[in-house]
A and B are shown apart, each in its own frame.
Chain A
């Protein structure tokens, strides 16, 4: 049937040409998009490592031999090791409450979690200065009892906590909401206690989401600049975190050292992005495995 064949051949042509663009347009779009990303993402990313290695590998390594640089790395690790577990506990708690129960005011609560993302980091620092600073509400009382919060570790941890409050919660809530509560209910009907249900059923299900939330929270905690800058006081070797140390080195025209410390933070960012890709891939493959067997 020649007519039929001709019709079908015609059919394929319009499908190719009409539900996508002409190849020239297509490659033009791709080039434009990649050009934009190159300008704003690739070049800055490469620049960090290029500047850090400007004086060769030995120059790079020397940057970390500095006592102040090491102190900054230690402080950053310490602040993150305090802020991340606290925000993880909070994230799990609020995700459980929000995703497994129906209650009045839930939407308001979810909105409140996002406040730190909407607020300028400078303001995040400012509010703690107003509370605990020398001229702040609690300042006189604190100095009387010789407790230092602002320009000291507690202030840095508080500012970091504020900025990173939403990260674990924001990863877990939509994921746990999409999982529903049937598996947990099934565990309860089979006689499991609440804690057994959480440890044996919920936690294994959310582990990848949770891990990504923690990694994201950690990246932000280690990289936070504005909020920490307000409360830190910039005391070298004492209250300087890595990003603040980068600033000081840069302002002292010690670009290689600044970029060397920055390169560590950049590696952390790359690890974070890789973790995201892996976690997303995990979920996609799980969904793909479930998909063909779903009969509804």
Chain B
């Protein structure tokens, strides 16, 4: 089912949750709505489902406007963050619920329902749990039941509201890979709301980054990570070093892949900001180029597979974070207090409106 979100605005009291948001989703895609809490992503999802009404704008599903249609006419499946399983029903009864409440004429026979429930439980790998109650399941199992329950009514659109938000890191990782495989199998148009950038980048076809009720960028995971459209996206997707001030000669990373450009050290002029990811910074022990930044090593953190080095720029006293591979770190033989020279492999400059 294709989705068109057309100039949607929603306010709660005087607070604007969604400000003129428009979005097109082609049929069969898995889209992630990514943003910090309070950015409006969940509200957008609930408006799509029909759980909330927008103040302005239209929702079009498969070329039919459904803005004023009741939730039951939209054929959506909704997966809640805290599962919202019916706690007094067994797993099988939870999954069967949507089928059992169908009007008699459309309701499948008890046998058909039973068969379908077991197919779905097989799909989410929970056949053995059919007669358990939700309280007897782990969080990850509960969320799989919630997903099976939503799929039972054969929705044309699957909406997932932070489905893995309440789970621990390891289970989250497993479940989002599993969700991706499931999507590749079923091809139901799906929208996944999340505040976890890793989850969005890993599971989705396209990522919609939201901030303060507006869309900052829409793109494939690679696009939003490699070419962030706004400073917010840069900040939100991974760590970043921010340098205020103007870059001499207005050069860019693409033109000079060898890193022959200066980093700004002038803190007075705030009209331009330069963003560099910690892993896009290169260190050397000796100055090879006049535009390199001189800095001293403040801390070295060797946890995990990569080494994080915190530097202090000599002239501006700015803190700079650098991420190195273990090999490179060993080559450099860095110690606290050492003087190093920094230059970026890749950077991005944004103009900031002067205040």
Q: Chain A residues in contact with chain B, CB under 8 A? A: 182-183, 185-193, 196, 200-201, 204-205, 286, 289-290, 293-296
Contacts and interface: CB of A to CB of B under 8 A. Distances in A.
Contacts of B77: 189
A182 B89 CA distance: 15
A187 B97 contact: yes
Contacts of A196: 101
Contacts of A191: 72, 98, 101-102, 153
A189 B167 CA distance: 23
B135 interface: yes
A293 B137 contact: yes
B97 A185 contact: no
Interface of B: 49, 51, 71-72, 76-78, 80, 82, 84-89, 97-98, 101-102, 135-139, 142, 146, 149-150, 152-153, 165-168, 171
Nearest to A288: B135
A189 B72 CA distance: 6
Given A290-B135, A293-B137, A293-B138, A188 B71 contact: yes
B84 A186 contact: yes
A193 B51 contact: no
Contacts of A200: 86, 97, 101
Contacts of A295: 139, 166-168, 171
A183 B72 contact: no
Nearest to A201: B86
A183 B84 contact: yes
Contacts of A286: 87, 135
A189 B168 contact: no
Contacts of B51: 185, 189
Contact of B76 (A187, A189, A289, A296): A189
A286 B136 CA distance: 11
A156 B76 CA distance: 53
Contacts of B72: 188, 191
A205 B78 contact: no
B43 to A, nearest CB: 14
A192 B88 contact: no
Contacts of A190: 97-98, 101, 149-150, 152-153
Given A189-B49, A190-B98, A200-B101, A293 B82 contact: no
B78 A186 contact: yes
Closest 10 CB pairs of A and B: A190-B98, A182-B84, A186-B84, A192-B101, A204-B88, A189-B78, A289-B135, A296-B166, A295-B139, A196-B101
16 contacts: A182-B82, A183-B86, A186-B78, A186-B85, A186-B86, A187-B101, A188-B71, A188-B72, A189-B76, A190-B150, A192-B97, A200-B101, A205-B88, A290-B135, A293-B137, A296-B166
B104 to A, nearest CB: 12
A293 B101 contact: no
Contact of A205 (B82, B87, B139, B171): B87
A293 B135 contact: yes
B80 A186 contact: yes
A35 B168 CA distance: 50
Interface centre among A182, A286, A290 (most CB of B within 10 A): A182
A191 B85 CA distance: 15
Contacts of B142: 293
Nearest to B138: A293
A56 to B, nearest CB: 49
A182 B80 contact: yes
A170 B87 CA distance: 23
A294 B102 CA distance: 32
A205 B51 CA distance: 22
Nearest to B134: A290
B163 to A, nearest CB: 13
Nearest to A203: B88
B184 to A, nearest CB: 24
Given A186-B78, A293-B138, A295-B166, A193 B101 contact: yes
Given A190-B101, A191-B72, A196-B101, A185 B84 contact: yes
A189 B76 CA distance: 7
Contacts of B76: 189
B138 A189 contact: no
B102 to A, nearest CB: 6
A296 B164 CA distance: 11
A211 to B, nearest CB: 14
B116 to A, nearest CB: 14
B23 to A, nearest CB: 21
Nearest to B135: A289
Nearest to B75: A191
B342 to A, nearest CB: 40
Contacts of A290: 87, 135
A224 to B, nearest CB: 34
Contacts of A289: 135-136
A106 B215 CA distance: 35
Contacts of B165: 296
A192 B80 CA distance: 17
Contacts of B149: 186, 190
Contacts of A201: 86
Nearest to B50: A189
A182 B85 CA distance: 9
A23 B269 CA distance: 71
A191 B103 CA distance: 10
A215 B88 CA distance: 22
B315 to A, nearest CB: 46
B203 to A, nearest CB: 19
B244 to A, nearest CB: 38
